[in-house]
Amino acid sequence: MPMQYESTTFGAKVEILNRDGFEGVPVTLDFSAVITTENGRKVVKAGTPIGANGVSDNTEAAKGILLWDVYEDRPIGTILKKAYINTARAKAHSGVTISAETKAALPMVVFE
């Protein structure tokens, strides 16, 4: 009997970092309010500011910037606490213009 499997194609990972060296912490994202989908699955895009409760938060309550795209079926990701972010690439990928409040809340993240 032949083995059955399902194949899903994903795009290449987007690179939002501008320079080597970063520090991140794990986060479990809350997808209850997420409406963005890719390949039929909910996704939070790299470059999105994330708050302590695991939701997108582009305010002074932001705890970090999402390093990679995170999908609902595996909601664990990494938020950057110390890094050099390429602001243009992060905005182009996530669609989020990082606010001045978020930038002030993340003093160890350099937005270039």
pLDDT digits (tens, 9 = 90+) for 18-44: 999 999 999 999 999 999 999 899 999
Q: Does the pLDDT at position 85 exceed 70?
A: yes
pLDDT band at 11 (very low <50, low <70, confident <90, very high): low
Cα angle 14, 48, 107 (rounded to 5 degrees) comes to 105
Q: Does the pLDDT at position 10 exceed 80?
A: no
| Residues 60, 101: Cα–Cα separation, whole Å | 5
SS3 percent helix, strand, coil of the chain, rounded to 5, is 10, 35, 55
- Across 1-112, where does the E strand assignment appear? 23-28, 37-38, 41-44, 49-51, 62-66, 70-71, 76-85, 109-111
Q: Does the pLDDT at position 9 exceed 60?
A: no
Contacts (Cβ under 8 Å, ≥6 apart) of 73: 41
The answer, as to whether pTM is greater than 0.85, is yes
Beta bridge pairs of residue 67? none
Beta bridge pairs of residue 80? 24, 65
Alpha helices in 1-112 (DSSP H): 87-94, 100-105
pLDDT digits (tens, 9 = 90+) for 43-76: 999 999 999 999 999 999 999 999 999 999 999 9
